Amino acid sequence: MMKKGSKAFLVILVVLSLFAFGGCIKKSGIEDDLDSGEVYPENGLPKNKKVTLSIIYPVMGFGKEYFEYGVKTFQEKFKNVKLDVRYIEGGNDAYNQIVKSAIQSGNDDEMYDWIYSFTNGVTLMSQGKLETQDELWERSVYDRPDLKMKDVIIAEKEAVFNYFNHMYVVPSGSHIYGIYFNKKLFKKLGLTEQPKDWNEFLAMCAKIKTKGVYPMVMAGKYAGPYFNFGWGAIPYEVGGDKFKQDEYNFEPNVYKSKPYVTMLKRLEEFARRGYLHPGTASYDHTQSQMEFVQGKAAMVTNGTWIANEMAEVLPEDFEWGFMAFPGNDPGQKQVVLLEPGGSGYIWKNRPELNKKWTKEFNLWLLNLDIQNKFAQAGGVPTRRDFKFESGKKELSPSVVEAWKVINRKDLKVIDNRPRVRVVSNSEMAKIAKKREDGYIAVITGQKTGEQVAREINSQYMKGLAADKRK
């Protein structure tokens, strides 16, 4: 039988042995991984710890060449990290179904580390399923260690930290919204100067109309987004930073305020003067864009993807032009709407080292050489220091024209999406429908702009009240 003192000695010996051979004690989280040897100076992550990241990426309008290039260069830099990418053909619906099935399985061990945009992303955020990436905002970008991410991104912090005051995706690409115009037609009509304000805009449209051309066409079938691509700038032009902050902070009655009412009243006036193509109320985006490229309408509200979308039907001599929406009063700044697109979501219940490396990949996608590949695919670089003159001839003309405008110092660039506050609130969800119906009612003369503003605001106030009950 072992004596009491001997037992105590044995316990001490075992403990000392375990400390001496640290591998016998499994540490929690990432600590064990960081003890595994030399680290990369750029991010402090281990060089000799092999990691495989599972990525799912939909092949859609931008293709996959730029993404493949990002994957290739990342793995060349960090040789211990393998990116296992699953490319999904067949459009967004096919992709969403695959991601949805993976989520519903409930197996975090089999889940993707990196998920490109997903329709239920906001719901996943609210459920705590996705990792925040806030710390990357203060990180240096890889190809410019002297600059932080916050210094090089076009979008404001409020736009990037849009969801519940957090950053869930790195803005690796963007869309620019405004008015695309037929530059060749404008030259033919003697229109060489872009309007500086609302009155000049109306005068220009009057001149266009006298030549037998409709000044503008829009996709009324999807009135919510396609009207907003242009007309949505007016409240920020008229109301300035105050309106933006009121909307971002969910202030009561923001949608019956002067800036928002002004937008709807000007839409009403524009339609009453006959400046809208008569098909606007019923056209989808393809129909409206076709009328535009065929010269039946001089302008269309749209985003930077339009040239690629219409490439197969575009007349050979077509010339793209882009302008900020001139809904402002004299002396007020015009506004260009920018929507920062995102890199991948990160699944929260994945190993810590996987999540850290996935964040590094998202940061890597900001490199200028990758941004150039993205621009060639028809995307809008998110880097302020991107130089289009250094790009290739393959750059989309609608992107190039928009980029010229967005960098003008006399304009204000903002993201027009309010921060997400309510996810599953049916009252708030109805606002979008109220807006779409309201826009059509205004342009068809069924309701005044003031009437529609009151209806939208009423729905908004119901949403706020319902939110308080949550």
- Specify whether 153 is located in the same domain as 52: yes
Same domain, 312 and 422: yes
Domain enclosing residue 94, as ranges: 32-172+342-386
**pLDDT score, position 314:** 92
Same domain, yes or no: 95 and 41: yes
Establish if 21 belongs to a structural domain: no
pLDDT given at position 37: 67
CA distance 235 to 416: 10
CATH code assigned at 153:
3.40.190.10
* 370 and 234 share one domain: no
Domain match, 99 and 133 both: yes
pLDDT at 342: 73
Instruction: Judge whether 397 lies within some domain.
Output: no
CA angle 343, 347, 348 (to 5 degrees): 125
- On whether residue 101 sits in a domain, the answer given is yes
Q: Are residues 308 and 263 in the same domain?
A: yes
β-sheet bridge partners, residue 301: 179
Count of structural domains within the chain: 2
Q: Are 307 and 298 in contact (CB under 8 A)?
A: no
Give a yes or no: residue 15 inside a domain. Answer: no
Q: Is residue 20 part of a domain?
A: no
Q: What is the pLDDT of residue 228?
A: 92
Does 332 share its domain with 361? no
pLDDT at 386: 85
In terms of domains, do 454 and 368 share one? no
Considering the domain boundaries, does residue 267 fall inside one? yes
The token pair that represents 19 in the structure block: 């400390």
Could you list the mean pLDDT of each consecutive 10-residue stretch along the chain, which spans 470 residues?
Answer: 41 35 38 64 96 92 86 98 94 84 91 84 85 97 96 84 86 89 94 95 97 96 92 95 87 95 98 97 94 96 88 91 96 89 89 98 96 82 77 72 85 71 57 92 97 95 73
Q: Do 254 and 328 fall into the same domain?
A: yes
Only one residue has tokens 């400390």, namely 19
Q: Is residue 410 part of a domain?
A: no
Q: Same domain, yes or no, for 235 and 322?
A: yes
Nearest to 282 by CA among 167, 443, 76: 443
Residue 160 lies in a domain: yes
Shared domain check, 207 and 96: no
Same domain, 202 and 311: yes
